[in-house]
Amino acid sequence: MVALPAPGVGWRREYPFESKFLAVDGGQMHYVDEGSGPVVVCVHGNPTWSFYWRRLISELRGTHRVIAMDHVGCGLSDKPQGWPYRLEGHIANVSKLLAHLGVQDVTLVVHDWGGAIGSGVAVRDPARVANLVVTNTAAWPSTRIPARIAVCRIPGLGAIGVRGFNGFAGAAIFMASERGLSPDAKHGLLFPYGSWADRIATLKFVEDIPMEPNHPSRGTLQGVADGLPSLAGKPMHLVWGMKDWCFTPAFLDEWVAQFPTAKVTRLADVGHYVMEDAPDVVIGAVRELTGRAG
């Protein structure tokens, strides 16, 4: 178990939540489960962890039950060096957590890789999901990949840059926010990724982008995409940082094409880390969908 600073010190002031764990494929999955009321499930991407959702958890736990996990290899979860780190495994682990907690009618909030993982959970068990808040993500195979991410997939060079120099998570704290991060936010986002071993999932997520037709996760991601129509009748709010260089507005257009009745909020001066640049908008979207005003 990772030793955390005291709740009143540094970034822990913003993340004072009780840690819980569940045995899943790959080891112990860390999660937080705060409050009571309508259930909100937050699914993070790469290279973040449940800390990314801290403001949403703090703001909503007085009126909602908020669950946020750390994927295996991320945050305070175990970081096994030999686990496959494939999309299928991440979907199965989140599904196991929700089944373990026995939650239904959840409002699913997703970001980055959390879009593919959370959508995978939803299309396999649509009855469990009541609403969706989708932020800067995708849930289908795509040919779009920024050069700065593509270079991280180069064998050898990617491992040196991502695991050796923390070039992915370290760069993200400067490149993923348009409004800038506080020192505590930077420290919190980077805290779990302090060594070569700690950064395994950061690299594996990049390697698991199924750009090639024969990629091991291509079939899983295509299955998620094929299942998206099963979510068409559910209330959905698309909240998009329009300055995102990774999940550009072109990805938002694809979501709108698939879900034309979804509510759309375009944030002109917000980057990839929507919960860092404009947390109140996402929190407001959850409150609106669940009918629980602040």
In this prediction, residue 154 has a pLDDT band, given cuts at 50, 70 and 90, of: confident
Identify each DSSP E strand in the chain by its residue range.
20-24, 27-35, 39-43, 65-69, 106-112, 129-137, 236-241, 263-267
- The token pair at 23 is 């045995």
The CA distance from 37 to 146, in Å, is 40
Upper half-sphere CA count for residue 293 (Cβ side, 13 Å): 0
pLDDT surpassing 90 at residue 266: yes
pLDDT surpassing 70 at residue 21: yes
pLDDT surpassing 90 at residue 146: no
pLDDT of residue 1: 66
In this prediction, residue 293 has a pLDDT band, given cuts at 50, 70 and 90, of: low
pLDDT surpassing 90 at residue 17: yes
The model's pLDDT over 93-107, given as tens digits with 9 standing for 90+, comes to 999 999 999 999 999
pLDDT of residue 117: 98
pLDDT surpassing 80 at residue 147: no
The CA distance from 68 to 22, in Å, is 13
pLDDT of residue 292: 64
pLDDT surpassing 80 at residue 35: yes
pLDDT of residue 229: 97
CATH class of 10-290: alpha beta
The model's pLDDT over 159-191, given as tens digits with 9 standing for 90+, comes to 999 999 999 999 999 999 999 999 999 999 999
Write the CB contacts of 18 (distance below 8 Å, at least 6 apart in sequence). Answer: 32, 33, 34
pLDDT surpassing 60 at residue 294: no
The model's pLDDT over 49-59, given as tens digits with 9 standing for 90+, comes to 999 999 999 99
pLDDT surpassing 70 at residue 19: yes
The arithmetic mean of pLDDT across residues 108-124, rounded, is 98
The arithmetic mean of pLDDT across residues 203-209, rounded, is 95
Could you tell me the residue ranges of all domains in the chain?
10-290
pLDDT of residue 254: 97
Q: How much is the pTM? A: 0.96
Measured distance between the N- and C-terminal CA atoms of the chain, rounded to whole angstroms: 35
Give, in order, the Cα–Cα distances in Å from 48 to each of 43, 72, 112, 113, 176: 10, 12, 9, 10, 11
In this prediction, residue 148 has a pLDDT band, given cuts at 50, 70 and 90, of: confident
Average pLDDT, the chain: 95
34-57: buried (b, 16+ CB within 10 Å) or exposed (e) per residue?
Answer: bbeebbbbbbbbbbbbbbbbbbbb
The arithmetic mean of pLDDT across residues 60-80, rounded, is 98
Q: Mean pLDDT lowest for which of 86-90, 125-129, 185-189, 208-212?
A: 208-212
